[in-house]
Structure 1
């Protein structure tokens, strides 16, 4: 294996560890009472606050002009691929577990690849060996994710009885103890829809890059998503006490998720590091 291949595999592992940490922290924040829609608004807004000045500094002299048509495209793609995708995932995470969300997130490259094949952007080539390997990998990945997402085995208790995240002297209850089986399945369904939207969004990003740079594309979409998420959150949560942030795990989860979002974006690193699993699949 060449050094490039080794770096890609290492990047996959590192990124998945970061995503798992984001899912765990987000789940704890939701279990401690944070509204999932408000959480997404804060995440997008914080990312926009960081990206807007960075984009202005880095691209003020070389950026292509943003026409009304381009802005409208960005708004639509942000609506389904960032806002709807994020809201569905957070709502699903509120009903299921961090383990399920991490498992389902790992199938997103498979969903993206299947959609790319459907749109004629990729080919399976089943008559060749590497095509059969791709098909087998897709089936094994889907089977593994299904088991992790739906199977509820015995509860493992930690030998350490001092919980890291506590509120009011009581530990966060597992999702299986606080939600019914129907709610669990509903949460899995919402997160599956989120992954489909994310895969579709990824496939359709190619033409957008021709209109603007990667950094401008991300900044415009995350800014649109911030406004969209605010409208959705205000409509769903009228108790403004739920909007207050304190020095707690909710704030930590927002900062962590924004940091992860920025570190794994195309404009910060080459595409093979942002979505290396797609490069390996090809």
Structure 2
């Protein structure tokens, strides 16, 4: 996706109009599926406050975030975009920490690993922004997608601005993820939540594009790489990819999904190097390595803490079951003792009554 969108932007297509077309393309398959699967009763159950929350979520995640990421992609390269994307789980963790949804114990090894991972991610972003280093010239000078490679001619200030705009966009994405998780707990219909946000996002990006681009010629689509980028972002990324991610999380959990993020950085660097003819600098590679290391450090600490919590929970359950079993055995023994004592008392009373009859009645009979 980064490579295709970057190729469309290199041809001079408007960033904001491209975002609107991508959102509209995502609505094409999603809205009819939601209309067929969901009944009218489910749609009517959505209150005004819920729709307002979905509107704000779409404003953060679909409109602000995607527009910001595409602007930053215009100012940098596809490789940088993919490298900094590895910081998304770390930024989400930091946001959850601020909202007190996560806890960091500094004195534990897991807490130190989390803090180290966050520091490595920040270091990776600063290395990408401020350190260039020697460049790797593209081996394929006749790249597949025509248009100039903007990353090779932009100024240093533009590159730094694009890097931190990308980081700001990832922060908005992390905020959107946290808000959407809370929203799904309130209204757990994933299909309606996704389709409604997609509709709101399309309308919002239309307004942004209409304000930013008033020249109707900038809205014209042609049979080139721009059309491929729009349909790929809409159908494959927003449609198929989201479904595959949900399926993967249900099968293996979210940690298994996130650990493959750095592979996207490798693929993007390869494709932009060969197909876009982008010049890759050593700073981008070193920054990507730091970001990947920081991601794995936080994920390792998080997974180990979850395993430890599960073990403690199972041991507590076993301890409670042991106490309950011991208590039941004690009660059973006490009950058996009481029954035995009652039986002995009844036998003693019976023997006394029998002896009384034979001793007292005996003389009168005689």
So what's the TM-score if we normalise by structure 2?
0.65
Does the C-alpha gap of structure 1 residues 227 and 130 become closer, same or farther in structure 2, counting only changes over 3 Å?
same
Name the structure 2 match of 1:211.
187
* Kept in 1: contact 2:75–2:150 (CA 8 A): no
Secondary structure of 1:204 counterpart: helix
Cα 1:270–1:216 change in 2 (3 A) is farther
Match of 1:3 in 2: none
Match in the other structure for 1:89: 69
| Other-structure match for 1:202 | 177
Moved over 3 A (4+): 61-64, 270-275, 278-281
Distance in 2 of aligned mates of 1:270 and 1:57: 24
- TM-score w.r.t. the length of structure 1 is 0.82
Question: For 1:183, which of 143, 158, 183 is the aligned residue?
Answer: 158
Which residue of structure 1 lines up, in the alignment, with residue 110 of structure 2?
A: 130
Answer whether contact 1:105 1:195 (CA < 8 A) is retained: yes
Deviations 1:73-93 (A, max 9, x none): 111111122201111111111
Which residue does the alignment assign to 1:228?
Answer: 204
Query: Structure 1: which 5+ residue stretches go unaligned?
Result: 1-21
Equivalent position of 1:238 in the other structure = 214
Other-structure match for 1:77: 57
Residues 257 and 120 of structure 1, relative CA distance in 2, 3 Å threshold: same
1:107 match: secondary structure? helix
| Corresponding pairs, count | 256
Pair 1:149–1:124, CA change in 2 (3 A): same
**Structure with more relative contact order (C-alpha pairs < 8 Å, separation 6 or more):** 1
* Cα distance in 2 for residues equivalent to 1:219 and 1:204: 16
SS in 1 for 2:173: helix
Please, which moves more after superposition, 139-148 or 180-189?
139-148
* Residues 98/215 of structure 1: CA separation in 2 closer, same or farther (3 Å cut): same
What corresponds to 1:265 in structure 2? 242
Unpaired stretches in structure 2, ≥5 consecutive residues = 260-297, 303-366
Q: 1:275 to 1:118 in 2, by over 3 A?
A: farther
Within the candidate set 153, 158, 161, 2:141 is matched to: 161
Q: Which has the larger radius of gyration?
A: 2
RMSD (CA atoms): 2.3
